[in-house]
Structure 1
Amino acid sequence: MKKAVSLCVLVLCCCVAIGSLCTSSFFFGRELPVRNTMRTASSAALPSRGAAPSRETARPPLDTGDDALLLERAKEVLTSLSEEDYAALSQMVHPVKGVTFTPYSTVDPESDLCFLPDQIADAAEDKTRYLWGFRDGVGDQISLTIPEYICTYVYNADYLYAPEQAVDQVLASGNALENVREIFPEDRFVECYFPGLRPEKEQFDWCSLKLVFSAYEEQWYLVGLIHSEWVI
């Protein structure tokens, strides 16, 4: 009789233990996963003993003298501008220097506005009207949002299909000082040029866009967008 009672107690204890284990599995198993972000971060940072440390795929060295690579990067920037894809554009903006916007040929580091990648990525939602400078020949303030400025003083023409394009060469100049080489002496630039937009203007409506790139972590990153145009 005692043995039978002891056996029943033992069976009951086993059932309780199994039930507890099943309950734990329900709350902490696949049905309701618990994420420990600190432990996950630590595990990612410290490889387990005997495991080879993870390595990021290294980019091949950037050939800064290869014009084809520079032109391809410029095409990517122009494509993002033509599509008003600010998220894509932000990925090509220099992560440390940002990109400087110049409305009329002469770059002025003291007054030209500079934006970092995250600011460009949020451009469509940014309703701030920034003071970019003054209209050449008129003197009115250039007070525009980032998308408005880009539409007026960056991608005012379809530069992706500009009839003339050059690397590290100024194709057109007016009464404004061209100082891209002085301000960006270590960098390279691509200029896209329209001799004229409307035939009746007899080329007195020429315009151009310079895209200035700086080498960083084996890639070209955008550091300057310089707009030039005919001004009366």
Structure 2
Amino acid sequence: MRKILIILSVLFICSCEKKQDKNPTVSTDNLKRSNERTDATQDVLSTEVALKKTNDEVLQAMKVGYYDIFANYIHPQKGVRFSMYAFINKDEDKHFSKEEFEKYLPSKTIFTWGSRDGSGEIYKATLNKYLQNWVFKKDFTKAEYSFNSFLAGGNSLNNLKEMYPNTNFTENYIAGSENSGGMDWNALRFVFEEFNGKYYIVAVVNDEWTI
């Protein structure tokens, strides 16, 4: 009888382990419930490893529209700047403090983000729509990743290192298709600065081929 109970216990444990394996490592439910930063890992891991983890978490949150998680990484003092293209213009690019970001995220306030390359059309959208349709215009969770280096490059002036010297940045690059000669590539970059021992995003820069 005792042997039977031991065998049944082992089978029960194995069954539980198999069920747990079916669950994804990071689910949308976990993202929705967890509105906290994972700064503890940054104390023991290198900057590069820590920012790769942050980069992936932010991308996953943006993919499912959990922008409150992104808000936790906005620099407490410097806020965050959004650039439509590789050229960063501190006078014209939209800038938000964390409080402003959280205020305007659910609102219907229309912002002018810049002009589309080629047509010169003025791009206007709410903050929420800009994040959905411009910042995350491609599924960057499947992009090629790089740290402090550019995988993408076009004819647009890239002044990131001049505008944010002595900072770290991540790039998420999606190559173009053969049908377009590779010219329909896209990149999404996050620029980080350290504050009180933690890394925060100070700029979100999109890049693509420009005319």
Q: TM-score range by the shorter chain?
A: 0.7 to 0.9
Secondary structure in 2 aligned to 1:192? strand
Matches within 5 A, 1:87-106: 87-106=68-87
Distance 1:103 1:61 in 2: 29
The two structures have a TM-score, normalised by structure 2, of 0.76
Q: Residues 35-184 of structure 1: matches in 2 within 5 Å?
A: 62=43, 66-162=47-143, 164-184=144-164
Once the two structures are TM-superposed, the CA of residue 191 in structure 1 deviates from its matched residue by: 0.4
Q: 2:173 aligns with which of 187, 193, 206?
A: 193
Contact 1:59–1:218, Cα closer than 8 Å, also in 2: no
Q: Distance in 2 between matches of 1:228 and 1:185?
A: 19
Q: Where does the alignment leave 5 or more consecutive residues of structure 1 unmatched?
A: 1-57
- Give the conservation status (yes or no) of the 8 Å contact 1:89–1:120: no
Change (3 A) 1:216 1:161: same
Identify the residue that residue 215 of structure 1 maps to in structure 2: 194
Q: TM-score, normalised by structure 1?
A: 0.69
Where do 4+ consecutive residues of structure 1 move more than 3 Å? 58-65
SS of equivalent to 1:133: strand
Q: What root-mean-square deviation, in Å, do the aligned CA atoms of Structure 1 and Structure 2 show?
A: 2.1
Alpha carbons of structure 1 residues 124 and 95: separation in structure 2 relative to 1, 3 Å: same
In 2: Cα distance, 1:100 partner to 1:167 partner: 19
What CA distance in whole angstroms lies between the structure 2 residues aligned with 1:60 and 1:189? 18
Q: Distance in 2 between matches of 1:112 and 1:141?
A: 13
Shift of 1:92: 0.9
In 2: Cα distance, 1:76 partner to 1:118 partner? 21
Query: CA offsets per residue over residues 182-209 of structure 1, 9 Å max, x none?
Result: 111021100000112x442231210000
**What's the offset of the Cα at 1:120?**
2.3
Partner residue, 1:38:
none
Amino acid at match of 1:68: V
Cα shift at 1:151: 1.9
Instruction: State the partner residue of 2:13.
Output: none
Q: Which amino acid aligns with 2:76?
A: P
- How many residues get paired? 173
CA distance in 2, matches of 1:171, 1:155: 18
Identity %: 29
Q: What SS class does the counterpart of residue 95 from structure 2 fall into?
A: strand
1:149 partner amino acid: Y
3-state DSSP of counterpart to 2:86 = coil
